[in-house]
Structure 1
Amino acid sequence: MTDISKVYSGKVRDVYAVGDDKLLIVATDRISCFDFILPTLVPDKGKILTKISVFWFNYLKDIVENHLISADINEIYKVIPRNIAEDLDGRSMLVKKGKRVDIEVIIRGYLSGSAWKEYQKSNSVCGIKLPKGLKESEKLPEIIFTPSTKAPDGEHDINITEQEASKIAGKDVIKIIKEKSVAIYKKASEYASTKGIIIADTKFEYGIVDGKVILIDEIFTPDSSRFWDKEKYAPGKSQENFDKQFVRDYLIAINWNKQPPVPELPKDIVEKTKARYLEVQRRLCE
């Protein structure tokens, strides 16, 4: 049996080293907002995120290689002991270990969230000039690449320009990441559209394995993306969503100051959050 040890516990995922060249990533039912882990769990959230990520990793592997080795628990148990953690089935991925690129990649097809706030002030997003007169949630004239720093847990990521990202990760690496990210966003958006979902924006993480840039972490989940209901889409306002924005909106509505103590989520908010995540899984994966 391969040596295994816990190396990291993030906002949502616990990560174990499996030998020298693999990781076990376990998606928990934790949920985070505004860089804080909420004290309330969302039942089965980790399983939903894992199922969606595995679907996309397979769907998009013709465009960019990814870190997934297997999400089959029987395959995973061939290399790790069964007592390493409880409830691994459905929420675990055995993946290649790589060197993380310390940039968070954000791809935007629509004007929303922090991009909308920045646009209102400057008619630009991360140094990219946009036409005047765009409305909230409007489709952008073209897909834009807006990287941010990868801040330690508890600190805020900072939006940066493509040039600043190149200084951190290297010009050649950023060029590959930008091309691959735009390509997978296009392919995923076209597929999601046939399922009644608009992918307004999303974030990716990349790593380097054997000198090659690959996709890591999660991909096109309700934690990492804005998913809107295509049938109800109407520019000029915030949109009906199937993602974590629902929880953010609740926390804003109760006037939480985004400082400890972090409030519990009421039962109905938890149930409605789970229902939104399950709806994304149903539409995309079934």
Structure 2
Amino acid sequence: MRRTLPVVALCAALLSPGVTAEAAPGPAPAPPSGRVFSYGQHARQTITVYGGEPSRRPALVILHGGSWARDTDWSGWARWFAARGFAVYDTDYRLTSDAAWPAQRQDVLAALRWVRAREGGERPLVLGSSAGGHLAVQAATYGTGGSRVRAVAALSPVASPYRAWRDGGVPGAPADRRALRGAAQRLAGCRPDPDARRCWARWTDLTAASHASRGDAPQLLVHSAGDFVPRAHSTDLAGALRRAGQRDVLARTVPGSAHGGRLLKAPGVAKNVLEWLRGRA
């Protein structure tokens, strides 16, 4: 929910259950202001657009993190990428407090259609973080993802909510993994049980690797060595994509323990992501 909404009542609705800053970017030259648009009827189905007229710059859709349960503020990084040549579409979607899965994916797909229509049919790039990284890799793999998006960069993507649920249940699991386990279960709406077919099918659908195909979009998947969302989320996805025939996929691990948008503050990561996106624009 973008931070400059013109209507106070709508702003209050959008900020519930709370906005937190996901990362604080470095300085950007002449950061552009954003304009808010709606791509659906729900208060959270909004996009804030930064930088340039449609089709004159490569389009970049940003999907925020927040455990599918809260909004996080990406306006700073949206301006940073806009100042470096992108038309940035900072996108919100319904949270688990608003609707059950697959509503979140449906929102992202609807937002992508809105962006493509505004961009004259051009497929956008996508940058997602954590839970937003999960939605980004879903957009890249669900159906024929490459027909929908040009490429996806995902920071700490929760590519397998089932893995997150399982990891959070290990004895002695740290608090952040336990919290993510609960968030994944709220997203699915049930506990994973192979004997409960409907529930198990939902957990399978939530796993991006289950949708991997040759026609999926190129992907850059980044974790830190100490990330509480471990790199196995991305290496498993990358393996499934390669087996399906998609060769333009890179799972990268960087030093430290940064998670999600904070990875962009790690040495060289923002530049690497920027150059990777530019190379596929």
Normalising by structure 1, what TM-score?
0.31
Which structure's CA Rg is the greater one? 1
The structure with higher relative contact order (CA 8 Å, sep 6+) is 1
TM norm structure 2: 0.31
The structure in which a higher percent of residues are helix is 2
